[in-house]
């Protein structure tokens, strides 16, 4: 298969490395100087230092040439780059079947990625989301990983998952596109909350409770948006949630740790040097949940800390003082 990866951050570079073993892969970066550096250095020193590109991995000269011969496109930009990228595909007239690896809800619209793609390219295009418990650094190193590929067409999901699957990057097909996208988006909000919990030294019991109740919030929200309940017990739900909330490589968890230590959000993001999708996603999820009358107290607490200057200790105290209720609620 001829596969083009659009976006050369950590995740795009890692996926390009992972898929180069079995496919003809082209990697494209938006900035010309970045493309030249990737081609000359044969690695991505800013986002994935120390991970050499395979000799067979091609670096595209420009957007049109990156698309020209591709059988499948993989968009690995941050979520903010998804709409501009798919608009670019439409404008150059080189639309191909595509999958995306970005997670979140679009700022101001609260759209999930598949809704953005449908708005710009139509609902009939074979497309889907690659999601699940996966850190870019480990994927690039060839460490065992399992993820989900959910699509708007079950046959496309199965065929594409089989083509991209390998023993160390296992891909499971799924037909619940909204559920998989919600799991990938809202787990980042819960990872910020878990970082706060750990940073305050609240203990392992509190961490386990937070992750479990966070999963309940994700499932409530996801089902309301058309997801299937069983999806949230799988790789794109519970699996991704556990990894992002506990893994030391988690950017969103590091945001929470920074907040607990008293750092400001701008300071945390400067030090991080990468996009932490949970920061923007929190506001969109909280706002949409209120409009849909879905109770999401952990999400609301994170929103209050990030956007309403709520002191971390106060937000935690309000969560702990909530009235007891049935676990099913």
Please give the span between the terminal C-alpha atoms of the chain, in angstroms, as a whole number.
Answer: 47
Residues 6+ apart with CB under 8 A from 32: none
Are residues 259 and 265 in contact, defined by beta-carbon separation less than 8 angstroms? yes
The token pair that represents 292 in the structure block:
């849909």
How far CA 137 is from CA of 10, 134, 165, 210, 211, in Å, comes to 8, 9, 18, 26, 24
Beta strand extents in the chain (DSSP E only): 2-6, 24-28, 58-59, 72-75, 98-100, 127-131, 145-151, 169-174
Q: Which of 179, 170, 169, 160 is nearest to 71 (CA)?
A: 160
The token pair that represents 37 in the structure block:
């550096």
Phi-psi sector, 142: left (phi>0), alpha (psi -120 to 50), beta: left
How far CA 44 is from CA of 7, 29, 52, 55, in Å, comes to 12, 11, 8, 14
The token pair that represents 118 in the structure block:
């449908």
- The three-point CA angle 130-210-176 to 5° equals 25
Place of tokens 């097909």: 173
Are residues 51 and 10 in contact, defined by beta-carbon separation less than 8 angstroms? no
Q: One of 2, 103, 187, 318 is an active-site residue; which one?
A: 187
Rounded-to-integer distance, Cα 126 and Cα 111, Å: 19
Q: Which residues are registered as beta bridge partners of 172?
A: 148
Active-site annotation holds for 318: no
- What residues are labeled active site? 187
């Amino acid at each position: 298969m001829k596969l083009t990866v659009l976006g050369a951050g950590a995740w795009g570079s890692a996926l390009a490395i992972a898929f180069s073993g079995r496919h003809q892969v082209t990697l494209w970066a938006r900035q010309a100087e970045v493309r030249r550096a990737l081609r000359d250095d044969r690695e991505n020193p800013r986002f994935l230092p120390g991970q050499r590109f395979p000799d067979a991995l091609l670096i595209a000269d420009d957007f049109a040439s990156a698309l020209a011969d591709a059988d499948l496109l993989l968009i690995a930009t941050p979520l903010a780059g998804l709409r501009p990228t798919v608009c670019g595909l439409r404008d150059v007239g080189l639309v191909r079947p595509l999958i995306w690896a970005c997670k979140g809800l679009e700022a101001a619209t609260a759209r999930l990625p598949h809704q953005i793609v449908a708005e710009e390219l139509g609902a009939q295009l074979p497309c889907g989301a690659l999601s699940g418990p996966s850190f870019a650094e480990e994927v690039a190193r060839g460490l065992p990983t399992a993820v989900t590929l959910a699509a708007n067409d079950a046959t496309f999901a199965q065929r594409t998952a089989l083509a991209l699957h390998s023993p160390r990057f296992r891909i499971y097909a799924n037909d619940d596109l909204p559920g998989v996208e919600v799991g990938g988006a809202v787990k980042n909000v819960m990872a910020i909350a878990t970082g706060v919990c750990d940073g305050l030294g609240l203990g392992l019991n509190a961490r386990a409770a937070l992750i479990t109740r966070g999963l309940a919030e994700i499932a409530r929200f996801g089902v309301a948006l058309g997801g299937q309940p069983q999806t949230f017990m799988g790789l794109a739900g519970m699996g991704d949630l556990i990894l992002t909330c506990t893994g030391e490589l988690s950017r969103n968890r590091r945001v929470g740790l920074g907040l607990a230590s008293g750092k400001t959000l701008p300071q945390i993001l400067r030090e991080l040097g990468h996009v932490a999708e949970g920061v923007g996603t929190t506001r969109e999820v909280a706002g949409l949940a209120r409009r849909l009358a879905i109770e999401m107290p952990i999400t609301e607490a994170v929103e209050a800390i990030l956007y309403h200057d709520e002191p971390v200790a106060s937000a935690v105290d309000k969560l702990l003082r909530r009235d007891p209720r049935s676990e099913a609620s």
